[in-house]
């Protein structure tokens, strides 16, 4: 393996407030020079000035050339919600867990550029060998949902709970969309990680090992999955508000709740409404409605089907001809629509406002060009490294999930 200079940066992405970033969506999914991006001041600032004015075509050429030089030493992974101008370079496309598995299965690649968000790159680092380096092109590409569960707040919640109930009987479950330190916390306390495709199996497992579940960070996935298992959202779940004493709940409510749901949500999936489903059904009689389980409970109830990103793709791909209204991220829906049109199908987004995942969108091709060309020059920019202890315990939580599903 070639020795590379590692350039660590001290840029720390901001913690997003709960209802940002895309309440008022200003993003466009066409490639514009990085300097023209309206939210550039909030993105990772270290990128050299020379990348700021490059056009989409110039960036494409430079990424292609750098990539060619690196050959099989480089693997580029692209999340389903990435922009088209990034996905075109992805060796593999998938959801967060599928991509982490791809990283783990490709031990020949020295460098893995993860075009997704921070927690995904951390998971890839945990599942790859110490010789491999995972790189996140823009360190400001976080996940607003993952940021809603700050590790200190979760540790405080656990302390509060331990004053009221026997935490030996409380199983902490964290969604994949969380910091590595929280995956490690869950591993240490007898819990597991889940994804949107295996949340039901993981919750079933949890109730075989305990009486209550603390589920974070996405309240909607926890509520919708619990309901699938017959847990009444109104009486048997409660929302835990971080930074409030006892989560803002009475002691009785805590004891009566089978699932304590962290007060977190996805800023993309929270946008979907039952009114949008009613409108789609009115305008497209016979339309099939499929949504992600990060959507609010009434939206999931009003849909014909709900499931993970991979489930949604297969639902449309394998379904009969006709119209499909989809409640998930717009980049994925656009690509899916292009793919299925020749089969007599149309897939459209339930949300009329074109609004990609604003943090995923921060992986602009200029950042991909920067980190790829730096590798050619022998410099590793933006490596994502999880420390050994965190890695060990997070791996326990991930392995438990794998054993369950
Ligand atoms: S779509 Fe939602 S959960 Fe996924 S990365 Fe974006 S903000 Fe996070």
pLDDT (tens digit, 9 = 90+) per residue, 22-46? 344 444 567 999 999 999 999 999 9
Position in ligand 1 atom list of the atom nearest CA 116: 5
Q: Can you name the residues that pair with 306 across neighbouring β-strands?
A: 291
Percent residues over pLDDT 70 in the chain:
92
Q: Which two structure tokens, joined as six digits, stand for 291?
A: 């949504």
| Model confidence at 20: pLDDT above 60 | no
Measured by CA distance, the residue closest to atom 2 of ligand 1 is 266
115 within ligand 1 shell (Cβ under 6 A): no
The CA 144 to ligand 1 mean position distance, Å, reads 7
Contact 224, 110 (CB under 8 A): no
Q: Can you name the residues that pair with 173 across neighbouring β-strands?
A: 192, 215
pLDDT digits (tens, 9 = 90+) for 329-347: 998 999 999 999 999 999 9
Q: In what order do the strands lie in the sheet containing 133-135?
A: 92-94, 74-79, 111-115, 133-135
143 within ligand 1 shell (Cβ under 6 A): yes
The CA 252 to ligand 1 mean position distance, Å, reads 33
The CATH fold assigned to 5-17+30-142+359-387 is: Rossmann fold (3.40.50)
The CA 95 to ligand 1 mean position distance, Å, reads 11
The sign of the torsion formed by the CA atoms of 401, 309, 207, 120 equals: positive
148 within ligand 1 shell (Cβ under 6 A): no
Architecture of the domain whose range is 271-349: 3-Layer(aba) Sandwich (3.40)
User: CATH classification of 146-267 is 3.40.50.10800, yes or no?
Assistant: yes
What does the pLDDT read at residue 28?
A: 52
144 within ligand 1 shell (Cβ under 6 A): yes
Average pLDDT of the chain is 92
Among 1-10, 75-84, 125-134, 143-152, where is mean pLDDT lowest? 1-10
Question: Do strands 305-306 and 322-327 pair parallel, antiparallel, or not at all (unpaired)?
Answer: unpaired
Measured by CA distance, the residue closest to atom 8 of ligand 1 is 143
- Fold identical between 5-17+30-142+359-387 and 146-267? yes
| Model confidence at 320: pLDDT above 90 | yes
Contact 233, 226 (CB under 8 A): yes
For a pocket test of ligand 1, which of 15, 18, 114, 359 has the largest count of ligand atoms closer than 8 A to its C-beta? 359
Contact 379, 7 (CB under 8 A): yes
Position in ligand 1 atom list of the atom nearest CA 359: 6
Measured by CA distance, the residue closest to atom 6 of ligand 1 is 357
pTM: 0.90
329 within ligand 1 shell (Cβ under 6 A): yes
SS3 144: helix
| Model confidence at 5: pLDDT above 70 | no
Domain boundaries, the chain: 5-17+30-142+359-387, 146-267, 271-349
Position in ligand 1 atom list of the atom nearest CA 144: 7
309 within ligand 1 shell (Cβ under 6 A): no
For a pocket test of ligand 1, which of 116, 267, 293, 362 has the largest count of ligand atoms closer than 8 A to its C-beta? 267
pLDDT digits (tens, 9 = 90+) for 68-112: 999 999 999 999 999 999 999 999 999 887 898 888 899 889 999
């Amino acid at each position: 393996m070639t020795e590379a200079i590692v350039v660590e940066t001290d840029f720390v992405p901001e913690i997003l407030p709960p209802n940002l970033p895309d309440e008022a969506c200003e993003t466009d999914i066409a490639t514009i020079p990085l300097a023209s991006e309206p939210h550039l001041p909030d993105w990772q600032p270290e990128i050299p000035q020379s990348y700021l004015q490059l056009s989409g075509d110039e960036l494409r050429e430079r990424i292609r050339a750098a990539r060619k030089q690196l050959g099989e030493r480089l693997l580029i992974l692209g999340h389903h919600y990435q922009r088209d101008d990034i996905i075109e370079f992805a060796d593999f496309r998938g959801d967060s867990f599928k991509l982490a598995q791809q990283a783990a299965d490709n031990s020949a690649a020295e460098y893995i550029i993860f075009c997704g968000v921070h927690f995904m790159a951390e998971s890839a680092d945990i599942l790859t060998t110490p010789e491999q380096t995972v790189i996140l092109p823009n360190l400001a590409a976080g996940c607003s949902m993952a940021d809603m569960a700050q590790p200190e707040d979760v540790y405080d919640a656990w302390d509060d709970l331990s004053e009221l109930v026997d935490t030996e009987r409380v199983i902490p479950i964290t969604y994949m969309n969380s910091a590595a330190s929280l995956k490690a916390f869950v591993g240490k306390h007898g819990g597991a990680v889940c994804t949107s495709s295996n949340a039901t199996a993981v919750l079933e497992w949890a109730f075989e090992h305990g009486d209550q579940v603390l589920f974070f960070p996405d309240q909607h996935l926890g509520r919708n999955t619990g309901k699938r298992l017959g847990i009444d959202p109104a009486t048997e779940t409660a929302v835990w508000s971080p930074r409030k004493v006892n989560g803002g709940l009475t002691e009785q409510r805590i004891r009566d709740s089978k699932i304590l749901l962290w007060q977190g949500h996805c800023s993309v999936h929270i946008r979907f409404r039952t009114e949008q489903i009613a409108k789609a059904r009115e305008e497209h009689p016979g339309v099939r409605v499929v949504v992600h389980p990060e959507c609010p409970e009434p939206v999931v109830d009003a849909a014909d089907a709900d499931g993970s990103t991979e489930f949604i793709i297969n639902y449309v791909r394998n379904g009969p001809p006709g119209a499909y209204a989809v409640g998930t991220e717009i980049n994925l829906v656009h690509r899916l629509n292009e793919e299925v049109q020749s089969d007599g199908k149309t897939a459209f987004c339930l949300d009329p406002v074109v609004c990609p995942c604003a943090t995923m969108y921060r992986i602009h091709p200029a950042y991909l060009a920067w980190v790829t060309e730096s590798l050619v020059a022998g410099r590793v920019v933006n490596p994502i490294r999880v420390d050994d202890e965190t890695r060990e315990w997070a791996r326990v939580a991930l392995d438990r999930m794998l054993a369950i599903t």
